[in-house]
Amino acid sequence: MSLKAVFSKHTLNFKFEAGTSRGVLTQKDSYFIKIFDTENPSVFGLGECAPLKGLSIDDRPDFELQLLSICEYFNTIELEVFSWNLNIILDQVLDKSFPSIVFGFETAMLDLLNGGKRIIFNNAFHQAQRNININGLIWMGDKDFMLRQIDEKLASGYNTIKMKVGAIDFEKECQLLAYIRQHFSKNEITLRVDANGAFGVNEALEKLKKLAEYDLHSIEQPIRHGNTDAMAELCQTTPIPIALDEELIGMIEYPDKYKLLKKIMPQFIILKPSLVGGFQQCREWIENANRLKIGWWMTSALESNVGLNAITQFTAEFSNPLPQGLGTGRLYHNNIPSPLSIDKGQILYRPDSQWDLSVLNFLV
């Protein structure tokens, strides 16, 4: 009686050219982890390892070979998983320098502990008793493309819009924000922007002053991560609340998390389990943020519905009233069919729908 882990690679195809300040995305590779007891292989837990190109610390050419090696090692040590030893396995068996792999294994083991039914956290969200407010994401592109997205999101009932900035002309981006504000006040529509570190250190404050004219809720990562002194100064003088995102990547140890937040003192942090190393790592960030009275919200990182389901259930473990960044489930032509659904700016779970994992071919 021992656990075995196998994986399946699946390339997700975007429905459109998804623009970010780091380039345009048309495809994304995800690796799905299946963990089962060798004596009962029909019951299995499922997780997703989804590193982001150019961003994840485990985005490396040998990722698949490393994943295979980790699975082979996992399979040799005859593990059993219980609620009390899960964090021991995460801490002592898995390599923390591969945060997306830790997230995938953690999700799969939690799923297995809950009967292998894609129940990661058996809470009100999974039981269809609670929906979660989310923001509508506006992807980068030319002005007309972004304007169409804005109109679609507003027509769909979103009351929080998040717009990527930093790729097209800054004045055109301001015109798009002005378009929303001409039709909706800040009491009607909440506006967030995400610069993905695109602003230069010397220009950031002036751009924030301009953006403040549009009554923004927050801006994510205005300058490139790693400039902690400049970011700390910007957070003290900014006219718009700043949310750290990429800044959190690579911070593994608990004391380092606290030191980073205490030095920069942002208004918010944004948590992506695939990038920071799973749910236990997120809990450490949340605890530190709470100590320093820093707000937070959760965001998916282009995972399929498998990863999105896990992140959404984790989010429902907390009473966080802020709209979450969990609206990426409709990005792909070939997503994994699931009970997740989005309606009027909320993500919800429909128990009458079924998971369809037929596209996943596991190496057994």
> Could you report the per-residue pLDDT of 263-300, keeping only the tens digit for each?
999 999 999 999 999 999 999 999 999 999 999 999 99
What pLDDT is stored for residue 3 in this prediction? 94
What pLDDT is stored for residue 361 in this prediction? 84
What pLDDT is stored for residue 19 in this prediction? 67
What pLDDT is stored for residue 147 in this prediction? 87
Show which residues are catalytic: 164, 272
Rg over alpha carbons for the chain, rounded to the nearest Å, is 20
Q: Tell me the C-alpha distance between 73 and 54, whole Å.
A: 27
- Distance set, CA 364 to CA 72, 208, 262 (Å): 11, 52, 47
What pLDDT is stored for residue 141 in this prediction? 80
Residue 364 has pLDDT above 60, yes or no: no
* DSSP assigned state of 299: B
What tokens does 233 get?
């100064």
User: What is the rounded average pLDDT of the residues 137-162?
Assistant: 88
Residue 352 has pLDDT above 60, yes or no: yes
List, for residues 202-214, the tens digit of each pLDDT value.
999 999 999 999 9
Among 10-19, 184-193, 333-342, name the one with the lowest average pLDDT.
10-19
What pLDDT is stored for residue 143 in this prediction? 83
What pLDDT is stored for residue 142 in this prediction? 82
Question: b/e string for 224-257 if b means 16 or more Cβ within 10 A?
Answer: bbebeebbeebbeebebebbbbbbbbbbbeeeeb
Contact status, residue 289 vs residue 318, Cβ threshold 8 Å: no
Q: Tell me the C-alpha distance between 266 and 355, whole Å.
A: 39
Contact status, residue 264 vs residue 256, Cβ threshold 8 Å: no
Express as a percent the part of the chain with pLDDT over 70. Answer: 97
What pLDDT is stored for residue 281 in this prediction? 96
Phi, psi of 230 (to 5 degrees): -65, -40
Q: Tell me the C-alpha distance between 93 and 77, whole Å.
A: 9
Greater model confidence, 297 or 22:
297
**H helix count then E strand count, the chain:** 11, 13
Q: How confident is the model at residue 363 (pLDDT cuts 50, 70, 90)?
A: low
Q: How confident is the model at residue 54 (pLDDT cuts 50, 70, 90)?
A: confident
Three-state DSSP state, 6: strand
Find the farthest-apart pair of alpha carbons in the chain and give their distance in angstroms, rounded.
64
Q: Tell me the C-alpha distance between 320 and 314, whole Å.
A: 11
List, for residues 125-145, the tens digit of each pLDDT value.
999 999 999 999 988 888 888
Residue 307 has pLDDT above 70, yes or no: yes
Domains by residue range for the chain, with CATH: 3-113 (3.30.390.10), 132-349 (3.20.20.120)
Contact status, residue 363 vs residue 6, Cβ threshold 8 Å: yes
What tokens does 17 get?
């050219």
Mean pLDDT of the chain: 93
What pLDDT is stored for residue 236 in this prediction? 97
Q: How confident is the model at residue 21 (pLDDT cuts 50, 70, 90)?
A: low
